Structure 1
């Protein structure tokens, strides 16, 4: 523990050390020149040379320590000393400072008896007493903080300064400022103009703050060893080179056992701020009430205050504002700039802490109103409003919203949140309150996503008239976009229960309701009392059309109608009036229909509007859908870059638990495309269910994890994940394999059917659904999987370099000419493929490269009536004959057919001859019509 010695008047100064020892009286750090001058002047008193020395400097810079050192020098030199300390408490006591001096040199002398004497005579008598004492023994008269001396004492000191040649006196005064008004703080002393300069000299010393090297030297003296220069520099900067504060730091560090090193810089800042605040509180407590009011006005107005604002708040009566500020300058609390400000924020806090909260809020409110009238910038007015009582005027809300928008643009989100929360305390129109709540949610999302959702829920529950309709729509879509559909759906239903909504707002809310309903099973709770009409089969409103397109795409229903609905939602005329989330649903539908260019154009428009509005959740969702476009097109690196952008727009912690697994699943797709299983395994561990097990995003994660386990030959675990993925999707009626082809992946995980040599039934079901949907990428992927091929790509697209099989070509030709096949349309394609199977698998489950031969061998091995037996082909044609006839009917030459089916040319010719005979036709020209008639007649 550090032991300190006061070293006040008459005592020798001492150097504090952390081990409690005193090291005598070494020179004050960076005050050697001043000490040398004072020592020389004290020695000169013996030769009859008098002097007057004025020491100036900011509080805490060491003025009192230098005065104490002069008193100690005087004691060692045989010089008598008399000291006095002026203060605000005794500033109104006549002859208070002179009385302290007389108590040292002439005890029993009462200066009060000189009050009755006529001015000049009384002053001369007091000077005579002091000079008589000096003639007996050289005398040091030291007055500390002379700026606070009473006017009567100043009169005596000035008179004494003009008479210094009459006796050996060193008149030493310390002042808080270099200049001041006569008779007041910072007064100055003039020597007699006739005095001999060799006998009487005047000196003015201005003490500068300690440098970083000086601070380091003080610390080295206290700790007995060199201190880290980083700590020394930080200490010099934090305490502004004031030794008084440095002593407080050393004392506290010693008491707590903290070494002066970089690890304790936070403790350094805390200690300095506390010391400054305590000193400010003590200083303010000693000031007159009028000056305290000025200090508080400066603290409230801060660096943006104007003289008019300070005068209006303080209302100084005895002193004008300018003079009051001059009187406060010696305290060292304020800067010398214009407008004045506190040197330390903690000092301003300490000054305001002495008044009650109600008075403090009232001061801030008056300052804000005055600043608004003077057209002070919004930032300054908003700062005042944060601490003010309720203003009750519309301008306060406008200022706070404008400044919050500026803070949000500057990425000061915490500041924007504080401003908007303050704005909500003001009275305002309910429709405006809904807007402010949404703005607060947008600002709070990056740091407090759950709080952001709470603000949106409050917005949806705020009672207002129909003018709040667009704001309610925006709040609802922000909830849905982040993934909080469980809360969104009943709240949307609550808003839809209003009868005065604009039809367009009602349509948008209804679309968002059904978008939320399809995202989470059983999202509606008992709060959802109103009966919400279902989406029409052919909605005309763009918002409903976008959601209807998305739902149709998930169900795998009518690809042509799905495209039309999605385009309705994305027309330029609808972009400004359709919720962005509904447009995103339309873009996703176009991704599933393989209309990638249109999807990209729609996503770009949505992204621009979302970023402009600061809707992070919508921008993040748009980027996730855009990454799906790149994955479908095999652009792995582009998808990875888009996902990085998505994480910047909407960091993972900002997503609702129902939505967060989707981002993880897409990242796993990227790593699997790259073949980086280690990174994929590391990513999959980031997923946290936390109630997300029933969402569509969880299905993405299950599918990605299943593929990852399949790639790692963990087939049982993979199959469990993929089947669970299917359960989640089917629970919502999501059957389209274009979204996630979980059936074929599960079939691959199970392996070939041991009875029939092909893949299990789910692969055939996926083939049927893909052909019914008709998107080329879904068809290609399903046919490759049904043929026993495990695509190299593990994501959502088939490999671009995989060779097209006879099945794939035949299916595409059949789809392209479906209109020529009569009423059966595309339905004939599954029947055609089912007649011979989707492909073959060689022994051991490995995919075969030749379709017809392996299929025929499988069928010949299966007895009639067994589960693996195929039904007879239509018209008595064998499966081989039907395949050859189908290719020939679509224009393939015999040699091309032989190459496609890996048979000889002669075999093709024999199959065609038998086909012509069984169908009763004369040649190839009649083959297409005959096959079409055969299909129509076949049940």
Structure 2
């Protein structure tokens, strides 16, 4: 290579002089100094090297302009590949610009082939030397790699004869072209460096400051700093790329703002592609082979891989080839050989056919596998390869897809799994790949995920209709069915799940799990009145044979509210440690739901935590989302509002609203609205319920939960008729599925609150809910049905919080009796408290003439025994430690029927208040006006006035000023 001479110091350009090209200030100073020396008679030879687009031509044009301003004669020419075969073409361009001179040889060169002039290099040199002696001359030749051979030999001869002649030879060469030692243009090696200046300029990329100046010149004062940084990074300081991007932005009227960074990346990729296309014709075939190997291997390329892919009879060594390609500007800096941009890789491979590209990628992947390169390298090469037909290819793709899924790169994982499905694989592996693909695309394309899971449940094309599936295939289909059912997609896959269960071997855990999922899918079918059709025979478990079937049996038993002991027994059998390995997590979630309905919330939460761990290990987002929804319910039952909200927040992270099937989508919204209502933010709850849902959402069971939530929100807003319509429709949908348990949704008591207490509909609804709660027998359900709740925002777990006053002793005795007596179905709380109907004392909680707000799975406040509470040994004994603020004298229900057994302390001061009167009085004592009390209790202002009037009379006071003291005085009264 020519020796690079350091630039001598040169003065800075005078003010007002031609500015240097951006980023070429050092080269500008060198050229100015050489032109000044040229005018004093000192010759020079300057070569400018650089990759395509680096600004060689711009610098040569700048030097020609500087020479013209300095009074130096300029002759410029540019070689081209089209004229490379034309003899003396480049020399003719230069000689024609010299004009007449004093020397006889300074005449135009002949152009015809028959011209007798010999065209020898020494004659050409004599002509240029004669012109330079008459006036300092600058010869500018661009792209000498395309110069014709006679002209190039003449320039080489001229460079060796420059001593003592005021002539400067400025040439440029594209470093992408393969250099040849015989093509060098150098002065005479015997000439002193002081006689002929010699410089080789390797143009570097533009610095960031130069890029900023170019952008500022195109858009003065309107370029974002982030745009400048990204432009300097992605354009590699290449002036041609920068000009191309600026031109495209101007053409499309885009501005250099942060919002247009995507347009910048797209424009940069297109400019790189165009530059690569222009560079490739300069390269010989052996170097093109090396570039293709680099394009296929990407950032994981190694010299061994290049040798394996680009080997040929004329291919130079890898180190030599990379050195030659370094001048093209296509290679990135770094320890590993790689192309600078992905767009360049695509352009390098564009001229190959599809079969050739796939074969090249397949060879690269096979070499990478043998060399034990990382999975990321093997998988990336396999993406462009055809069918490999080897097990290692599918294994590498699956491992890399799992890494992408763990990092949240779902699109990349889906591409790898789709590529793996192109390989010939066994049926069990095909089903697993489809299941993994469905899980990968679920966060971004839920409907596409369902289609992949449908394919997993379908038999392979050409398989026999009744051919039994192997155990591995059945297990894989079981997981696909589980993801569909957990997501709420139950209508389309129900028949597929049934077919998969029929193909499984009876008595196995897989057969049981598929049957259980099929029963769950059938129960979740759309409402029959919405076109879903009645459930087919056998859609519910009769006598469960396996743990998975027991889980669904427990779930259905709990929903019907039939036998709490049986439901608990079945649920615990399904959740036992020895059964966990045989029961799908989604089916175990159904058993946990049964425990939530039975009031065993702590036990249910422990089971749900285990399901969450299992779902996270399997990357089963729908199962995790389902478990978190049930966790939210369990926390609500336990009265832990913050934990319930945290569980719902996690659910929305794992399964955003768009990921649920339309049949399931209303459920999370209903829970969120009820939580907002629990906090007293009815406006936020109403906004949640305004979320737009797909039409199919109204057909699933989750719509009943949304109707219940909407009814509660409307009831809190005073819209009683609309609330009643929602709550009754909620009940209709639940009863259509035989879900009568009030612990599931206490819609009856909520609907009763929309009517006056004496309304027959309200009385019937409350009586029916109490009867069903007594039949179910859960402590929480009993407290829900019997305990009153203040306000219009009672939600699950409210009963666990302290009441404003203790429960009356009659209510507590009745609750203990109901919790311990062997009911036959005719016994209700009204019958146990029937004596109060004739008594002048307080009306018990269970009196149907005074219906109370509902509480439950979104219950109102009131004490209730927890899941582990032990009732007293007999119903007539009062529970110690409960101190009612008022109540009748002791003696139990038998003594209250005729009102004869009253104590002196209970009869002396004031008459006891009813529950309704006490609630109104307590709110009034707290400072609330009548209208606010009416809104809080969802009653009319007239009702509030009547209760206050009765309370004043019973307490023996005249108005609100004495109300707080009177209530505090009566709080110490209790039966003796």
1:231 and 1:261 in contact (8 A); partners too: yes
2:530 and 2:699 in contact (8 A); partners too: no
Deviation at 1:750, TM superposition (A): 1.9
Q: In 2, distance between residues paired with 1:65 and 1:842?
A: 108
1:274 and 1:346 in contact (8 A); partners too: yes
Equivalences for residues 83-122 of structure 1 within 5 A: 83-86=76-79, 107-108=108-109
Deviation at 1:395, TM superposition (A): 1.8
> 1:863 — aligned with what?
none
2:379 to 382, 396, 420: 382
Structure 1 residues 549-572: Cα deviation after superposition (integer angstroms, max 9, x where no partner)? 000000111111111100100111
1:793 maps onto 2:794 in alignment: yes
1:164 maps onto 2:150 in alignment: no
1:507 maps onto 2:512 in alignment: yes
> 1:309 — aligned with what?
305
Equivalences for residues 632-671 of structure 1 within 5 A: 632-671=637-676
Secondary structure of the corresponding residue to residue 492 of structure 2: helix
1:65 to 58, 62, 66: 58
Q: In 1, distance between residues paired with 2:752 and 2:456?
A: 48
1:851 maps onto 2:844 in alignment: yes
> 2:272 — aligned with what?
276
Equivalences for residues 776-925 of structure 1 within 5 A: 776-784=779-787, 793-795=794-796, 798=799, 800-802=801-803, 803-806=806-809, 808-818=811-821, 825-827=822-824, 830=827, 833-834=830-831, 836-837=833-834, 849-851=842-844, 890-891=876-877, 902-903=888-889
2:581 to 562, 565, 576: 576
Higher relative contact order (CA 8 A, sep 6+): 2
1:405 maps onto 2:408 in alignment: no
1:28 to 21, 28, 32: 21
> 1:42 — aligned with what?
35
- The verdict on how the C-alpha distance between 1:314 and 1:100 changes in structure 2, with shifts beyond 3 A counting, is farther
Q: In 1, distance between residues paired with 2:836 and 2:795?
A: 21
Structure 1 residues 4-23: Cα deviation after superposition (integer angstroms, max 9, x where no partner)? xxxxxxxxxxxxxxxxxxx9
Structure 1 residues 128-147: Cα deviation after superposition (integer angstroms, max 9, x where no partner)? 56545544554433332345
- The verdict on how the C-alpha distance between 1:111 and 1:58 changes in structure 2, with shifts beyond 3 A counting, is farther
Query: Which is further off, 427-436 or 519-528?
Result: 519-528
5+ residue gaps in structure 2? 1-15, 99-106, 461-468, 852-871, 902-976
Equivalences for residues 433-472 of structure 1 within 5 A: 433-463=430-460, 464-472=469-477
Deviation at 1:402, TM superposition (A): 0.8
1:326 maps onto 2:323 in alignment: yes
Structure 1 residues 884-939: Cα deviation after superposition (integer angstroms, max 9, x where no partner)? xx99973469xx99998625879977979999xxxxxxxxxxxxxxxxxxxxxxxx
1:686 maps onto 2:682 in alignment: no
Query: Which is further off, 92-101 or 697-706?
Result: 92-101
Equivalences for residues 57-206 of structure 1 within 5 A: 57-86=50-79, 107-108=108-109, 127=125, 130-131=128-129, 134-135=132-133, 137-147=135-145, 157-177=155-175, 183=181, 189-206=185-202
Q: In 2, distance between residues paired with 1:759 and 1:526?
A: 31
- The verdict on how the C-alpha distance between 1:528 and 1:854 changes in structure 2, with shifts beyond 3 A counting, is closer
5+ residue gaps in structure 1? 1-22, 819-824, 859-885, 916-939
Equivalences for residues 567-606 of structure 1 within 5 A: 567-606=572-611
Query: Which is further off, 157-166 or 530-539?
Result: 530-539
Q: In 2, distance between residues paired with 1:390 and 1:77?
A: 67
TM-score (normalised: structure 1): 0.81
Deviation at 1:235, TM superposition (A): 3.5
Structure 1 residues 739-775: Cα deviation after superposition (integer angstroms, max 9, x where no partner)? 11111111121222257xx941121111111111110
Instruction: Considering fraction of residues, name the structure with more helix.
Output: 1
1:549 and 1:589 in contact (8 A); partners too: yes
Secondary structure of the corresponding residue to residue 181 of structure 2: coil
- The verdict on how the C-alpha distance between 1:156 and 1:590 changes in structure 2, with shifts beyond 3 A counting, is same
> 2:973 — aligned with what?
none
Deviation at 1:854, TM superposition (A): 8.6
- The verdict on how the C-alpha distance between 1:293 and 1:102 changes in structure 2, with shifts beyond 3 A counting, is farther
Equivalences for residues 392-541 of structure 1 within 5 A: 392-463=389-460, 464-498=469-503, 500=505, 503-521=508-526, 533=538, 537-541=542-546
Secondary structure of the corresponding residue to residue 201 of structure 2: strand
Deviation at 1:158, TM superposition (A): 4.9
Deviation at 1:392, TM superposition (A): 2.4
Query: Which is further off, 649-658 or 488-497?
Result: 488-497
> 1:749 — aligned with what?
754
2:763 to 760, 764, 773: 760
Deviation at 1:215, TM superposition (A): 3.2
Q: In 2, distance between residues paired with 1:49 and 1:631?
A: 94
> 2:354 — aligned with what?
357
Deviation at 1:208, TM superposition (A): 3.2
Q: In 2, distance between residues paired with 1:304 and 1:87?
A: 37
Secondary structure of the corresponding residue to residue 199 of structure 2: strand
- The verdict on how the C-alpha distance between 1:312 and 1:101 changes in structure 2, with shifts beyond 3 A counting, is farther
1:228 and 1:260 in contact (8 A); partners too: yes
1:555 and 1:733 in contact (8 A); partners too: yes
2:767 and 2:848 in contact (8 A); partners too: no
> 1:6 — aligned with what?
none
- The verdict on how the C-alpha distance between 1:336 and 1:815 changes in structure 2, with shifts beyond 3 A counting, is closer
Structure 1 residues 75-123: Cα deviation after superposition (integer angstroms, max 9, x where no partner)? 4555444444455667788887667656666643689999xx9xxx976
Deviation at 1:472, TM superposition (A): 1.0
Secondary structure of the corresponding residue to residue 826 of structure 1: coil
Deviation at 1:657, TM superposition (A): 1.1
Q: In 2, distance between residues paired with 1:316 and 1:781?
A: 84
1:489 and 1:523 in contact (8 A); partners too: no
- The verdict on how the C-alpha distance between 1:521 and 1:250 changes in structure 2, with shifts beyond 3 A counting, is closer
Deviation at 1:679, TM superposition (A): 1.1
- The verdict on how the C-alpha distance between 1:857 and 1:653 changes in structure 2, with shifts beyond 3 A counting, is closer
2:176 and 2:282 in contact (8 A); partners too: no
Q: In 2, distance between residues paired with 1:335 and 1:913?
A: 99
Q: In 1, distance between residues paired with 2:414 and 2:885?
A: 71
1:291 maps onto 2:287 in alignment: yes
